[in-house]
Amino acid sequence: MKLKKGDDIIVIAGKDKGKRGKVERIDTRMGTVLVLGVNVYKRHMKKRDEKNPGGIIDFPRPLPVAKVSLVCPKCKKSTRVGYVVTDKEKHRVCKKCDQMI
């Protein structure tokens, strides 16, 4: 997977198209990423006890990796990711500005 935890991303498809955020969690098996503040849904929770009062809560749901794109920290543009192997190390590279990410 070409994304890592903490990467800045932009949503390129769906109801939240154009929103930006940081990757909080990645599920490689399902091919999804969790981004705070993006793809937020509401859930009606029943009261359980004093600690969980219930009501309507907001919670983020994961997005498919295909619907997000990495934002290059150098050129601040939505970009694809390439790789360069140098001296037994593999680095991610921005396809637009050719800088290491």
State how far the alpha carbon of 82 is from the alpha carbons of 25, 35, 48, 95, 96, in Å. Answer: 21, 22, 49, 6, 10
CA distance 1 to 50: 42
Cβ–Cβ < 8 Å for 27, 41: no
Does residue 52 carry a pLDDT above 90? no
Extents of the domains making up the chain: 8-73
- Span 2-27, pLDDT tens digits: 999 999 999 999 999 999 999 999 99
pLDDT, position 14: 93
What pLDDT does residue 73 have? 92
Express each pLDDT in 53-70 by its tens digit. 889 999 899 999 999 999
Does pLDDT of 44 surpass 90? yes
Question: According to the model, what pLDDT value does residue 35 have?
Answer: 95
CATH number of the domain located at residue range(s) 8-73 in this protein: 2.30.30.30
- 71 pLDDT higher than 90: yes
* Mean pLDDT rounded to a whole number for the chain: 94
Q: In whole angstroms, what is the distance from residue 89 CA to residue 101 CA?
A: 14
Closest by CA to 70, choosing from 26, 21, 31, is 21
